[in-house]
Amino acid sequence: MPSVAGLNELHATVQQLRASVLAGQAELLHAWRPYLKRGAFAADAANLAAYISFRRQDLRELQDRLAEIGLSSLGRCEAHVLATLDAVLINLAALLGNPPAPGALDRLARQSRQGSQHLLARARELFGPVPRHHRSRIMVTLPSEAAHDRHLVRDLIKCGMGVARINCAHDDEAAWARMVQHVRAAAADTGLPCRIMMDLAGPKLRTGEMALQPAVLRLKPKRDAAGNPIMPAYAVLHAGASEFEQTPWARYPALPVPADWLARLNNGDAIELTDARGRKRTLRVVERLAADRVMVCAAESVWLETGTLLQHVPARGKARQRHSVSLAPLAARPGFLTVHVGDLFLLARAPAPGLQAFPSWGEEPYAGHIPCAQPEVLDYLRPGERVFIDDGRIGASVERLDGAGAWLRVTRASSKGDKIRPAKGLNFPDSDLGLSPLMDKDLHDLDFIARQADLVGYSFIQTAADMDRLSAELAARDAAGMGRVAKIETRKAVANLPEIIVHGAGTAPFGVMIARGDLALEIGWERLAEIQEEILWLAEAARVPVVWATQVLEGLIKARLPSRAEMTDAAMSERAECVMLNKGPFVLDAMQVLDDIVRRMRTHQRKKTARLRALHW
């Protein structure tokens, strides 16, 4: 225990800290006052201002000194900053022989509880109540199938989906309307709450189109390390290309043929051909999948092209009459740009389809060009700035700019090279892009969203002015009170987060989404864990709910095989008020696993506070 002089000095330090916090709080609130249009948010804004002022100082030494004498180390004060400081001052005064005034500790306890209660109320206001028998709010991105399969939507709600997310970057209004109808009907039938959030697409920074490749299709069997075949290549002969895309066999290569010829095929029959390389090959009929679909396999590599002659050879014991047809036109496929580390390629302004270069085109390793789908962003780039492509799989830096576009030098790619395909995401983490988060499509989509959804997800928001723009657009559509979720996915949004929160929560029900996919590329993978913690702290101080998003249990959802890191990440998501799962074939399994993980973790932790339930070893 420190001396009386030491306690007096510590008491004075905390008093000075409190005075400093109050001064900073007053300054921030004065600047924010015009935007606090909802009286319900006033106390929360005051706590946010106090927290920002509090965290502007390095408090590590003070924390150690307080912890040494058994007092709060101030490390869990996000939701009740001043109440925590007052509690520390009261306890220091008591150690100096000055007991607290009657009722003072009860008052501070009520203030501390009030912060957590406000956060719970804000989460209910935005996302609705937690579905019964579940421990967490789960947001699920609806797949396109949800527009046609009402049973899928019903199963999602019964399994715990409390918020259905519709991504406006996909499908169309007709599909969205059917999804909304299915969600509303399933919620009414089951008696389980489920709100609908529609995500604005925002400016989709993507690569443009590549020139079409010749319509050639390769069937390639799998081989072991010694080159021995271990699994044949499979394909589907079919007589209905448009319908084929909606079948379970769409993952196999599709070979269109005439229906009358297809009807002659039987299991075990052979199909002889000379492929595009002039080699004799045989396909074997494996199974008739439907009247107009037949599965075939190839034991050797086969290169097929439009017009390849297919000769039906019935199995032994059957009539030996042979019938031949030509393979119907195969769909030409978009090409790609293969790049290696050190290659130079052009991100072009012109919309002309991209083209792979050939070695003879120049002495320098020039890979070719691909257009930028939003060429206006190229005006904001500067030499030396980084560019990431396809979720960061390919990295490059801007070498120079000219009228043709941005010349990029590849800095990251696999040893065998990587393919840049059309419509792949582009990230410019070092560039200050002058793009509005509300494009013409978003404004059109807002007309539908204002009528049909409960809340709107705001992509690519970067400033408080962006939030004001959305508020104005919603008000113009008689939806001023609609809930909104700001997706924090850029470096600029992180820097402006306090003002974004004030302008958003000061107007209507509001939350933030930690959109960790693009955010990781914007701020750097090594900083993601740190920044997502800071977002959680700031949101708790403002008492606004958080959505923990991007690749939660992704391996389980896509392949029914979660990684160990995914399970730990899911456990960390307990600190958010809502967890978002992406679409995938095993999303129902993932929902059950997530709910079980969150239920267990909530017995151990609430936000940053460890809860010490009994352990049984």
pLDDT tens-digit map of 507-539: 999 999 999 988 998 998 899 999 999 999 999
CB-based contacts of 114: which residues, under 8 Å, 6+ apart?
43, 80
Class for the domain spanning 131-203+434-610: alpha beta
Q: CATH number for the 215-331 domain, one of 2.40.33, 3.40.50, 3.30.230, 2.50.20?
A: 2.40.33
Q: Could you report the per-residue pLDDT of 70-120, keeping only the tens digit for each?
A: 998 999 999 999 999 999 999 999 988 888 888 888 888 888 889 889 999
What is the pLDDT, as a whole number, of residue 241? Answer: 52
How far CA 444 is from CA of 22, 37, 425, in Å, comes to: 45, 27, 23
CB 570 within 8 A of CB 597: yes
Phi/psi at 359 (5° precision): -55, -30
Q: What is the CA radius of gyration of the chain?
A: 30
pLDDT reading at 559 higher than 80 = yes
Phi/psi at 417 (5° precision): 95, 155
Q: What share of the chain is helix, strand, coil (3-state, %, to 5)?
A: 40, 25, 35
pLDDT reading at 212 higher than 90 = no
Q: Among candidates 257, 348, 240, which has minimal Cα distance to 296?
A: 257
Largest CA distance in the chain: 109
Percent of the chain with pLDDT over 70: 96
Q: Could you report the per-residue pLDDT of 243-282, keeping only the tens digit for each?
A: 555 556 777 888 999 999 999 899 999 999 999 999 999 9
Q: Could you report the per-residue pLDDT of 294-309, keeping only the tens digit for each?
A: 999 999 999 998 889 9
Exposure string over 544-577, b if 16+ CB within 10 A, otherwise e = bbbbbbbbbbbbbbbeeebeeebeebbbbbbbbb
- Extract the tokens encoding 545: 């709910």
pLDDT reading at 242 higher than 60 = no
Query: Within 10 A of 416 (CB to CB), how many other CB atoms are there?
Result: 7
CATH superfamily of the domain spanning 334-427: PK beta-barrel domain-like (2.40.33.10)
Q: Could you report the per-residue pLDDT of 567-585, keeping only the tens digit for each?
A: 999 999 999 999 999 999 9
Q: Which residues pair with 283 in a beta bridge?
A: 271, 298
Q: Return the top range by mean pLDDT from 250-254, 413-417, 559-563, 602-606.
A: 413-417
DSSP secondary structure code for residue 610 in this structure:
E
Residue type for position 424: K
CB 590 within 8 A of CB 553: yes
Confidence of residue 411 (pLDDT cuts 50, 70, 90): very high
Alpha-carbon gap, residue 291 to 289, rounded angstroms = 7
Alpha-carbon gap, residue 266 to 233, rounded angstroms = 19
Give CATH 2.40.33.10 domain extents, the chain. 334-427
Confidence of residue 228 (pLDDT cuts 50, 70, 90): confident
pLDDT reading at 617 higher than 90 = no
Secondary structure E strands in 275-336: 280-290, 293-298, 302-305, 309-313, 323-326, 333-334
**SS3 at position 547:** strand
**SS3 at position 332:** coil
Give CATH 3.20.20.60 domain extents, the chain. 131-203+434-610
Q: Could you report the per-residue pLDDT of 328-349, keeping only the tens digit for each?
A: 888 778 889 999 999 999 999 9
pLDDT reading at 63 higher than 90 = yes
Alpha-carbon gap, residue 417 to 337, rounded angstroms = 10
pLDDT reading at 124 higher than 60 = yes
pLDDT reading at 413 higher than 60 = yes
What is the pLDDT, as a whole number, of residue 45? Answer: 96
Q: What burial class does residue 20 get, using C-beta atoms within 10 Å of its C-beta: 0-12 exposed, 13-18 middle, 19+ buried? A: middle
- Extract the tokens encoding 517: 């996919």
Across the range 309-320, mean pLDDT stands at 78
The DSSP code sequence of 234-290 is EEEEES-HHHHTTSTTTTS-EEE--HHHHTT--TT-EEEEE-TTS-EEEEEEEEEEE
